[in-house]
Chains A and B, each alone.
Chain A
Amino acid sequence: AQSVTQPDIHITVSEGASLELRCNYSYGATPYLFWYVQSPGQGLQLLLKYFSGDTLVQGIKGFEAEFKRSQSSFNLRKPSVHWSDAAEYFCAVVTDNNDMRFGAGTRLTVKP
């Protein structure tokens, strides 16, 4: 079954530092991949998505992600983190059953 794995449960970075959140997927064909962000007690906001084409995807809030088929990865990056980026980040995939499954999530803490 298709799935995504987020190996890092919690990451702490300093404000202004770069960020990379890891996501690995399990899928035979080209998957539909997403990154969402969730603030405490809130729903999810889409940061970016990938279906096909250019493997470097630009999203909102200065985020980008790169699809690497050879590594089965879709890592999220941001060159300079802001304190407001502190949140929970989820990688997701659309499965063959046409539903969306989520990784375990990575909680981002931003140090002043």
Chain B
Amino acid sequence: GAVVSQHPSWVICKSGTSVKIECRSLDFQATTMFWYRQFPKQSLMLMATSNEGSKATYEQGVEKDKFLINHASLTLSTLTVTSAHPEDSSFYICSASPTGRITEAFFGQGTRLTVV
């Protein structure tokens, strides 16, 4: 099956710093990539949708200047958490779809971000 690699799997950073999370589709071209945030024992909340070469579409309430998303190629999307605060600590998951109309989405392993 299709593989999506997310890196790093966990990261600890200091308050005020920025951290970048990468999401790569290893064996297919991802027309669309999604970024989710998951709090402990809760569901996945969609943060933004990104299409290669265009600006990401952010969900209401998600600060686009804080959560920078770049989908520079058909196999790579990045999420940068800028000026991180402890409340940004969470589990971030990316997914990628090989088709324009979503018929399946493949998920990365997730990134555990802890801001201290």
Contact = CB atoms under 8 A, between A and B. Distances in A.
A binds B: yes
B104 interface: yes
B64 interface: no
A43 B107 contact: yes
A46 B2 CA distance: 11
A44 interface: yes
B111 to A, nearest CB: 10
Interface stretch (A22-30, A68-76, A96-104): A96-104
A104 B42 contact: yes
A94 interface: yes
Interface string B20-54: 00000000000010101000011110100100000
A27 B3 CA distance: 30
Interface in A32-57: 32, 34, 36, 41-46, 49, 51
Nearest to A36: B107
Contacts of A104: 42-43
A98 B102 contact: yes
A103 B43 contact: yes
A100 B103 CA distance: 10
B105 A100 contact: yes
Nearest to A105: B43
A34 B95 CA distance: 14
B46 A100 contact: yes
A67 interface: no
Interface of A: 32, 34, 36, 41-46, 49, 51, 90, 94, 97-105, 107
